[in-house]
Structure 1
């Protein structure tokens, strides 16, 4: 064994993964410099929320990004993968508030400042946890540039954008309908809503027509909102109600006159065709109300109780009011019927409370002007979605975009940079905190209590992390970034906002490609969640199988845009692959001799196997690189797997063992160099998906480079292309497989040699060049080439392969007397089994009483035994 090239006997990732990562960090391999002689390649990591541990979705996301960044680093780019975390306003606030409640501490009683101190403690703890988890995954991110959405420089960017948009007239404060959480008492984004299937009811209610002996029947799932009804709408084409349009109804219980309006929003076929309109408590009704200039009556307080406009129901919780209203409708004769109804109900994803659509005074961004250029850059392919189908989802949202509610009634987050003069009422929007009123010079100023929506700061992530609004060296060099890797579930909430924010603030796109991946589901296809108890902790998987195995499973199972299923068996298979590479590499290292390699490094006296493996490695380099350029990372990884496992380990190493075990120094020198070159090429191709094992092997197999991470990515070389060598070896490998199959079918032990006679219809040169390989890998005692089939001896066993028919003398394969004795014993046994089955099936009592499945099972056994007997008889006749 060459001790200089020795690695541990067994593959154990726990022994080297952590050690290797420390070296990578110490050597600053992931910290790029601004180098004008190099092209930059930048990925900004989607920032995970600081609300807990990372899950398999994060593991997939980071593995895909790491794959791309490692390839580009090896291709010579100055690569920046900038990591960071998101403060996640509402999610974090709810988590911390719940933790404090366990300690007997109440947020409101603590006060804003004391509460925020606790949140910062939480932040530091969970940012460190996330950092540790990412490093365990092997991510080659530059943690010296790590960002957090609440860092001072990012907060500065947030204030700058707010002030800029406000001064441009694109930010305003107004009353619009929002998703409202009565428990957390804040507006929510659509991203914070989860829809649950719930059993409910349709309450059918009479609304009397004033001045006529008729009524409209409406159906609602939320009868309490009728307190805020300001109209009933019907479709203008609905002949049932044409005569009533423009007339008035008396709103039951409230005794308020409301109009009947005609609007295309109403579906003639659904329900009664008449819809109550509550503009202040339903987003669709809100739009109808705007079209018809209807009043907007908010009938709820922020905590979900009915307000003073609710009359006798004021002070009741919304569900308590619902019961009382339904009872009063029944008592007064307005309730027509109650029908069961299953429907999707929007709930706050953090606290589980059913959200209440409600008009609220909030801060908004006007989106029409910002959306247009963001639509154009995707239409003209300046920004491409991979897969392309996701641009349709993007267009659908952007072309129908509503103004963006950016204020949240929380304490944790970027506080809105607006101050109000308590003396004259002047509003001051400023980057820095003002010391006096710009109108009356009063010092009695109070900052807006609200914070900005988390997505407001996340929208600036590609440039705020690089130093904007300051003109930094990083910003100039690394912006725009290159690829955004993210899930399809946040195309609206994040991707779109980054695009229009980059265009508006940087006058440039934030990235040129958006690589979309799906979510990781459990083995049954279900979404992983705490409630289902089917979640998998990536660290548990890494502890058991290693980070490389988890990464390999996630990437090879991935196609852009598609969900994948997590199977532990696939992680285990990936670990087996790593073990295969480890053992093969260790075997190669046992024989490599540097002196002999150096002596024959320019010798090209290649065998058929050498030419084949060099050409195949070259072809794989080309195909894998092309796959990566198309973002087909799963396909690229699978090709490396197939090449390394099958062609290199299972075939080439086996084919050259006679040379390794022989005494021919020159032949050894050639093979050593081929083994080294192909193995190191394979390791480099494998490195982006399995960084740890490839680093450990690479740093042991050679001493010219300190790391594989910055080694040169393999390049396709036309001179190494040898289609004839690949075709010839294809003939040989297929022939060896065919011969092996025959031997297996006949139970011939590998130790028993047999003559192999080959009648080649095509590729005769290939078969002749593979003579030595047949002797080694097909247990051939001798290889004979036939000129005609007439030369085939009697009692020869045939094997058909591509381009040839092969024969082995039967007596070379088996001891005739022993084989006939074995087959006759099997024949007797099968005949007895057939007799037993037939006797059982001829018993009318059994057939009549036994379950049909049992009877069918016996029939199937009989068929199987007869087929086996036929095969045995055929073998016996051939041997006689």
Structure 2
């Protein structure tokens, strides 16, 4: 067999993935086995995968491959997400560069552009997942905008509306002026910013006096409908029941009192702008204040902004400060004022709070069962500390704004037929809508009915994913739904705990009366060298395909997984992949070594060292397997990989193969070879979930296999008892060898130079192993060593002696003397540093100074003396 000297991951990975696909090893159908189901968190179609996705999908693949080898029926459902806001924003920008307007070309043509683009980018993502080695059931590929998903979404919207959970209402929402749509609270990223706090004077009606308010947003005064102070704030008690006049606008507004106001902030008086602040809206509802919306969809001012109409909000801010100042209404400007400003996670534009008529889903009631299943441990979080975040969010949960002012997404199944806000029906399609409307207006025609132009929040399609992928909404009692649901593990980032995880739990309990999954594994956030989260939007991720091309998929997987502690952030570096590549090469070289041996067909008796090595490594393997399994089942996947890494590098390659390999030019017996291959195969099984390509390639090269004998579907090693005393004794043996090797290295004794070891005490259990690994001619057991040149070392209380040639013996002394000289040089340097320090010399006592000078003199003498001895020895 022609085995390449160097491992070539590029050609191997292409070949092996084709081998798996042709063998249909990824497919899953309901059968008698226990199912093990994972639904892939669908990556957005807005670009290529980044390192965070590589980490997430590698973990899923590790879990699914482990389950497959443990006899489960694994079903990994892949998919992609349509990502309404991000995708629409990207296509709008692309068309704009070509001089094409979304509005002018219309909804249908615009959506055809997105569909074409999304198909191309979905394929890019899927090919990346395949290059990584993901063993998904590709026949089950999902897209959150496919027909089944759309039907499911429409069905649950109607169901929730009819049950009173969905309603339409005016609320202050987060508005993204660039995407021109509402976004959820979780999609707002708050950043600390330094700005100005303006104190503006509002004249009091009928008086020459005024009241000052403090604000960071003077441009919003056009939406003011009251001024408010705390009822206990005596500074303003004289204003009770009075009115103020808004500068420039000259609109009269009431001065009210409410305990919401913080008397210690600014002037203690707050301007109430209900259309653009949720807390102000709550006060407005309480005191029946007017609500005035001053912004257009793009955050320019509307007609309420008077002479600033049509002007951008930031430009208005500059100009209105100037105007207020010229009119004498600016009392003070506090610079370097620290504030938190919200930005859209998708478009990075500054978010406005804006009163808007939207569709909402009531959340409080459906959150209660979802809190309970996590609290009682039916759903486990890994690590468990994320439960605290989960409970905090669920306790203060607000109604979910599920409508988005976009064209790309699941269109809201609501049809209008009149001018009143209540003139609508909820229906699956136009025909069904017409039937419902005809019950109210018998003579109405199709052209008098129109569908809501908004779409549903992307997360509204994702929250039913564990159900919809098995058609559990449209066909709730189908066989696949009953077999695969609930799923086993969800692997996701903690940053979407509220966006997605919490909502999926609510959806599963609401629609199926069952939890959607049993475990949630939270990956850490992968960060760049500047400590920023690696993400598509920041464009700070190395291209995973470039990494795979350079190092190989297994190397990338292994390099990342060694750092992938559940819930723990880490900084990605390219050298992680290099470590993986070096590990791959080590395993490949071990395989090449085994393949290079000449096998003697007749079954000879095992050499003593080989016999002991096989017995030891077999016991060592089952010891490691026990720890590996324990760590794996606790989702400590990085730790389980590390113990495997050490088993392969230290135990298998550095010890076992060194003992078992025949002396140069000699042959190995068939029994030694077959035992070596058997043990290597066990190691490959443990390695397979983490490094599937390399392990499968070597597995197939070790011996001829049938389709049913592929590593991917082989049986995971069963746990067996092991001899702890044997392992302990062998560990002692390795320590002896290590001591001898250390002495060899220290005084440069060539490995080929054979030595004699004298042992004081009982015979070493692994006598033959020590002889081979330490290259000793013999081990002599004596009560007292002969009088000759011997170098001694201890292992615990046991003493050993090495017989060495005269030149090496003296070299040991030379090395020791050189070390002492270096030590005294370092000491002398420290003493002289103190003595050259003027402050030290000035402030220490004369006694200490004399002692330091004497120490300097003594140290110099020792150095001179040791150098004289060294010169004589050399």
Q: TM-score, normalised by structure 1?
A: 0.89
Residue 8 of structure 1 is matched in structure 2 by 4
* CA distance in 1 between partners of 2:558 and 2:774 (Å): 33
Q: Does 1:758 align with 2:754?
A: no
Deviations 1:219-246 (A, max 9, x none): 1111111221223333344443455455
Provide closer, same or farther for how the CA distance between residues 199 and 459 of structure 1 changes in structure 2, counting only shifts above 3 A. Answer: same
Residue 846 of structure 2 is matched in structure 1 by none
Q: CA deviation at 1:507?
A: 1.4
Residue 513 of structure 1 is matched in structure 2 by 519
Q: Is the 8 A contact 1:591 1:660 kept in 2?
A: no
Q: CA deviation at 1:332?
A: 2.8
Deviations 1:702-721 (A, max 9, x none): 33454211111112112xx0
Residue 701 of structure 1 is matched in structure 2 by 702
* CA distance in 1 between partners of 2:865 and 2:24 (Å): 67
Residue 500 of structure 1 is matched in structure 2 by 506
Q: CA deviation at 1:832?
A: 15
* CA distance in 2 between partners of 1:175 and 1:190 (Å): 16
Q: Is the 8 A contact 1:158 1:456 kept in 2?
A: yes
Which range is displaced more, 526-535 or 404-413?
526-535
Residue 426 of structure 2 is matched in structure 1 by 429
Provide closer, same or farther for how the CA distance between residues 664 and 165 of structure 1 changes in structure 2, counting only shifts above 3 A. Answer: closer
* CA distance in 1 between partners of 2:139 and 2:33 (Å): 20
* CA distance in 2 between partners of 1:867 and 1:770 (Å): 48
Q: Does 1:804 align with 2:804?
A: no
Q: CA deviation at 1:326?
A: 1.9
Q: Does 1:732 align with 2:736?
A: no
Superposed, which structure 2 residues align to 1:57-456 within 5 Å?
A: 57-210=52-205, 214-242=209-237, 244-340=239-335, 341-421=337-417, 426-434=423-431, 436=434, 437-438=437-438, 439-441=440-442, 442-443=444-445, 444=447, 445-456=449-460
Counterpart pick for 1:615 among 616, 619, 632: 619
Provide closer, same or farther for how the CA distance between residues 431 and 673 of structure 1 changes in structure 2, counting only shifts above 3 A. Answer: same
Q: Is the 8 A contact 2:37 2:75 kept in 1?
A: yes
Deviations 1:168-209 (A, max 9, x none): 111111110111122322112234333344442211112344
Q: CA deviation at 1:343?
A: 3.2
Q: CA deviation at 1:586?
A: 2.1
Q: Is the 8 A contact 1:163 1:430 kept in 2?
A: yes
What SS does structure 2 have at the residue aligned with 1:416?
coil
Provide closer, same or farther for how the CA distance between residues 292 and 739 of structure 1 changes in structure 2, counting only shifts above 3 A. Answer: farther
Residue 848 of structure 2 is matched in structure 1 by none
Provide closer, same or farther for how the CA distance between residues 556 and 89 of structure 1 changes in structure 2, counting only shifts above 3 A. Answer: same
Q: Does 1:782 align with 2:743?
A: no
Provide closer, same or farther for how the CA distance between residues 76 and 872 of structure 1 changes in structure 2, counting only shifts above 3 A. Answer: farther
What SS does structure 1 have at the residue aligned with 2:274?
coil
Residue 715 of structure 1 is matched in structure 2 by 718
Residue 575 of structure 1 is matched in structure 2 by 581
* CA distance in 2 between partners of 1:160 and 1:580 (Å): 55
* CA distance in 1 between partners of 2:460 and 2:180 (Å): 20
Which range is displaced more, 709-718 or 255-264?
255-264
Q: CA deviation at 1:776?
A: 2.0
Q: Is the 8 A contact 2:202 2:245 kept in 1?
A: yes
What SS does structure 2 have at the residue aligned with 1:373?
helix
Provide closer, same or farther for how the CA distance between residues 807 and 327 of structure 1 changes in structure 2, counting only shifts above 3 A. Answer: same
Q: Is the 8 A contact 2:825 2:863 kept in 1?
A: no
Provide closer, same or farther for how the CA distance between residues 280 and 829 of structure 1 changes in structure 2, counting only shifts above 3 A. Answer: closer
Could you tell me which runs of 5 or more consecutive residues in structure 1 were left unpaired when the two chains were aligned: 848-858
Provide closer, same or farther for how the CA distance between residues 482 and 532 of structure 1 changes in structure 2, counting only shifts above 3 A. Answer: closer
* CA distance in 2 between partners of 1:464 and 1:867 (Å): 85
Q: Is the 8 A contact 2:204 2:244 kept in 1?
A: yes
* CA distance in 2 between partners of 1:639 and 1:46 (Å): 29
Q: Is the 8 A contact 2:790 2:809 kept in 1?
A: no
* CA distance in 2 between partners of 1:530 and 1:301 (Å): 29
Residue 688 of structure 1 is matched in structure 2 by 689
Provide closer, same or farther for how the CA distance between residues 737 and 279 of structure 1 changes in structure 2, counting only shifts above 3 A. Answer: same
Q: Is the 8 A contact 2:41 2:491 kept in 1?
A: yes
Deviations 1:740-770 (A, max 9, x none): 112211122212222111224xxx45xx232
Pairs aligned (count): 846
What SS does structure 2 have at the residue aligned with 1:166?
helix
Which range is displaced more, 868-877 or 329-338?
868-877
Deviations 1:687-732 (A, max 9, x none): 11111000101111133454211111112112xx011110111010
Residue 633 of structure 2 is matched in structure 1 by 629
Deviations 1:129-161 (A, max 9, x none): 001000010001111100001100010000001
Residue 853 of structure 1 is matched in structure 2 by none
Superposed, which structure 2 residues align to 1:553-572 within 5 Å?
A: 553-572=559-578
Provide closer, same or farther for how the CA distance between residues 122 and 664 of structure 1 changes in structure 2, counting only shifts above 3 A. Answer: closer
* CA distance in 2 between partners of 1:647 and 1:605 (Å): 15
Deviations 1:440-487 (A, max 9, x none): 241221111111111110111111111122143321211111111000
Q: Is the 8 A contact 1:625 1:636 kept in 2?
A: yes
Query: What is the alpha-carbon root mean square deviation over aligned residues?
Result: 3.6
Residue 544 of structure 2 is matched in structure 1 by 538
Deviations 1:632-663 (A, max 9, x none): 10111111001111011101111122489766
Provide closer, same or farther for how the CA distance between residues 794 and 318 of structure 1 changes in structure 2, counting only shifts above 3 A. Answer: same
Provide closer, same or farther for how the CA distance between residues 84 and 337 of structure 1 changes in structure 2, counting only shifts above 3 A. Answer: same
Q: TM-score, normalised by structure 2?
A: 0.89
What SS does structure 2 have at the residue aligned with 1:509?
coil
* CA distance in 1 between partners of 2:425 and 2:600 (Å): 75
What SS does structure 1 have at the residue aligned with 2:520?
strand
Provide closer, same or farther for how the CA distance between residues 726 and 197 of structure 1 changes in structure 2, counting only shifts above 3 A. Answer: same
What SS does structure 2 have at the residue aligned with 1:758?
strand
What SS does structure 2 have at the residue aligned with 1:339?
strand
What SS does structure 1 have at the residue aligned with 2:93?
helix
